[in-house]
Chain A
Amino acid sequence: MSYYSILNRCFLNIKKLMLHKTAIVTFMFIALLFSWFAGHIVVGEKEIVFPVMIKTSTTCQTTTTANQNQLIVFTPSKYVAQLLTQNLCDDKVVAKQYGSVIGYWGYRTVDSLEFVGKGIADLILAKNNIMEAFRAETTYNYQPVVGFSDYTAFFISSKEKPLITKQYFLDKRIGLLDYPTSRSGHILPKQTFKQLGLNIAQLKITYASSHNELRELLANGQVDLIASFWRENDSKRFSKNYITPISSNVAGTRWYLKMQHNNTDLLCAVQSHLLSMSKEQSFRYYQDVEPYWQCNNYPVTFIGES
């Protein structure tokens, strides 16, 4: 038999086999299986991997990377924390004493209380009422380095000058800050209500999370008056005639350095950085900063709060 006829016979046999009923049913079954598995394969199976979503700190290395000591900075503002951390890393005095600087920014009110109360931070921006509450100046020897000037707390209204009387507040919608450490936006107005014999539960109080949010509430007419401080650009939206002071000489926030050693080199380096950083701030209030230490001549001395 020739190859051709063998091939031909093979082909005929294959054709016969392929056209058999069982073969067709098998092919159909295979096609169904294919449809099912193709469906499973075609759908992409991407696993989501999340990085750290909310950062609350930044770290940088000084020039002496072998040094294990870490300088811990805490401030409520992320921007300030990042800027100051970087500045301190580049500082020669810091590099002599520390291997790295880590800057935390407070994401919540509770964080700042933890940092102050437990004396974790070496350098911290805090209000003096908090420092006093925790006796931090005596327990951890936190020393004020620079301070922002005192300010006055006001009731601000958009339509009339607020009166400090019991009758006046009774039917007013009042905007206050929700964090209890704020003096102008929380403590002082509540003190005023107490002095006037007003029950806070009877007042219509709306809480906001920041001074800016308070101003939004007032500007949008959601509240009749707010408790805050006065800034220059407020006159664009509100009238300076419609503000009533609650209390003057509210002490501004201060930078504190934990002075467990008489480390005056570090103190002066930190002070100079804080002073130069304040100059770059956009708000005038933050530019108005006062140094508490005399660093020009040795020995370094405390000038004190004026």
Chain B
Amino acid sequence: MRKLVSSLGVFILFIVFSVVFYISTTHKQQQVNKLQITQIEKQIALDLPLLDLSNELLKHSGNKAALQHYIQTVNAQIQGTGIQVISIVPKHEFNLSLKADEFIRKLNSNNSVVIIVLSLKQAYFSADVVTIYILLFGISVLLMFMMKQSITYQKNKKLGTEQDSIAPESKSLTLVIDLKSKTLSNSYYPEQQVALANKPLCFYLALVEFCTNNPEVKLNHNKNVPEELLELANKYFYRLVELGHTIRKRPNFNNSLEKTLSEIRAALDDVLNDCPEQKELYYPPKAFGEGSRSRMHSYGLVNVSQGNIEIIGK
């Protein structure tokens, strides 16, 4: 069944491309033919005074042999175009019944109308055209293969998210903060780890703990960082010292707060790239519109208590 669907898909794609290609070639061919027919007409019109055509008024019978020779010469010149001059006759002599591939052009001169009968026979399939058709078939197969792959990929992805939504408790995302390796990662892709510097790492850990305990407290840029939060940050810094990551003295967490927060945000951006909907739980809010120095703005993690954070090496 699946095979049938994909071969049908290839067939439909091939038909669509072929139709576009066919319309393009015929359109171009018509343009070229039109131009060439005009060129032939122009040449015949130029030679018309020298062509010995019959003339009813002047009782002139014309030279049929010379005319035939002229037509042959013209046809030799336009060989390979698929166009042929069949006859050149004054209107009063014209009584030919046209064949399927024949058509006429009229030359209106001052005292007579001359009719040129032309034929157009062009074989559509040439080596180039066949090559393009084969190429189009190849493209169709390739596209169908890509589509099939894409459908399987999308399906797997969908299945993954569906499973997530069915069992949110068991499979919900967990932000893993590893003090030993100083990295952040999420539980879906534990191998995608993002490293963070000491200061932001400590500050983020302190922020998480502080906001879990005091969700109502507004943290404003204008005010100093609360003592409790600073203590927590210092605690985590000493833990890092214990783990042997640094021997430097502890940093001042009050300094360059905005820079620290952007480093945290950048790390979280990387870690939570695949699940943006979870971001608001762990992300220190950015100031929108009101300006980062606004009194209204708080960088506290209001909803952090709803999220899962696992701290390794606490």
The residues of A with any CB-CB pair to B shorter than 8 Å are 16, 18-21, 24, 27-28, 31-32, 34-40, 42-48, 50-51, 53-54, 56, 107-108, 178, 206-210, 213
Contact = CB atoms under 8 A, between A and B. Distances in A.
Interface residues of B, number: 52
Interface of B: 13, 16-18, 20-25, 27-29, 32, 35-36, 39-40, 43, 46-47, 50-52, 58-63, 70, 73-74, 77-78, 80-81, 126, 128-129, 132, 135-136, 139-140, 143, 146-147, 149-150, 153-154
Contacts of A19: 146, 149-150, 153-154
Nearest to A33: B20
A248 B84 CA distance: 49
Given A35-B20, A39-B27, A178 B59 contact: yes
A34 B139 contact: yes
B70 A43 contact: no
15 contacts: A20-B150, A21-B154, A24-B150, A31-B136, A35-B18, A35-B20, A35-B136, A36-B20, A39-B25, A39-B28, A47-B39, A48-B78, A53-B43, A53-B70, A178-B61
Interface of B is mostly: helix
Nearest to B42: A50
Given A24-B146, A35-B136, A36-B21, 11 more contacts: A19-B146, A21-B154, A39-B21, A43-B28, A46-B80, A50-B77, A51-B77, A54-B70, A56-B50, A207-B60, A209-B61
Contact of A35 (B24, B52, B150): B24
A48 B17 contact: no
B24 A54 contact: no
B143 A27 contact: yes
Contacts, number: 115
Contacts of B21: 35-36, 38-39
A147 B127 CA distance: 64
B136 A40 contact: no
B150 A48 contact: no
Contacts of A21: 150, 154
Given A20-B150, A207-B61, A108 B28 contact: no
A181 to B, nearest CB: 13
Closest A-B pairs by Cβ, 4 of them: A39-B24, A35-B20, A39-B25, A43-B28
Given A32-B17, A42-B129, A107 B50 contact: yes
Given A28-B143, A40-B24, A209 B29 contact: no
A39 B146 contact: no
Q: Which one of B13, B61, B126 has the highest number of Cβ atoms from chain A below 10 Å of its Cβ?
A: B61
Given A32-B17, A50-B77, A56-B50, A209 B28 contact: no
B146 A42 contact: no
